[in-house]
């Protein structure tokens, strides 16, 4: 009789343990599911705040880039105006400067291949007129 009482107590203990583990597992699953479902609404304002801060930082950075580009363009325009003034002063002081600049630019264009090398020789009555040939000869 003692063993049957022991077996009944052990069976009751195992049944109690099963109920405890089932209840603990069920409550844990319920709380985990509640936390997962509540996570979105709780974290959404924080996520939106972080997204807004990132957008603001990006816009600020882009504005700084635009401001730097505008300042660089203004400085480049000032330097271009100064260069034009210097070239104009040199052209007034040295009249042959413009001819030399044209010849240099033309030679550069020929070397670069942007102008085909076609030479036109002045003629009179289909005879070339060259500076070394005089009409008296």
Task: Summarize the confidence of residues 94-117 as an average pLDDT.
Answer: 79
Using CA atoms, how far residue 9 sits from 17, 20, 21, in Å, is: 12, 16, 18
In the chain, % of residues over pLDDT 90: 42
Task: Summarize the confidence of residues 130-136 as an average pLDDT.
Answer: 60
Torsion of CA 64, 69, 71, 74, to 10 degrees: -160
pLDDT at 134: 54
Q: In the chain, where do the E strands start and end?
A: 123-124, 127-128
Question: Mean pLDDT in the chain?
Answer: 85
Greater confidence (8 vs 54) lies with: 54
Banded pLDDT at 1 (limits 50, 70, 90)? very low
**pTM reported for the whole predicted model:** 0.43
CA separation for the pair 30, 33 (Å, rounded): 5
CA separation for the pair 101, 87 (Å, rounded): 10
List beta partners, residue 128.
123
């Amino acid at each position: 009789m003692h063993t049957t009482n022991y077996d009944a107590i052990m069976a009751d203990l195992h049944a109690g343990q099963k109920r405890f583990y089932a209840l603990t597992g069920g409550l844990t699953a319920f709380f985990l599911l509640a936390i997962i479902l509540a996570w979105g609404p709780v974290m959404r304002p924080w996520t939106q705040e972080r997204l807004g801060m990132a957008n603001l930082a990006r816009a600020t950075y882009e504005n700084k880039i635009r401001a730097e580009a505008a300042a660089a363009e203004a400085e480049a325009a000032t330097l271009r105006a100064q260069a034009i003034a210097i070239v104009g002063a040199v052209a007034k002081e040295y009249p042959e400067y413009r001819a030399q600049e044209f010849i240099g630019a033309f030679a550069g264009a020929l070397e670069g291949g942007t102008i085909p090398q076609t030479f036109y020789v002045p003629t009179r009555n289909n005879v070339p007129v060259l500076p070394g040939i005089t009409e008296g000869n």
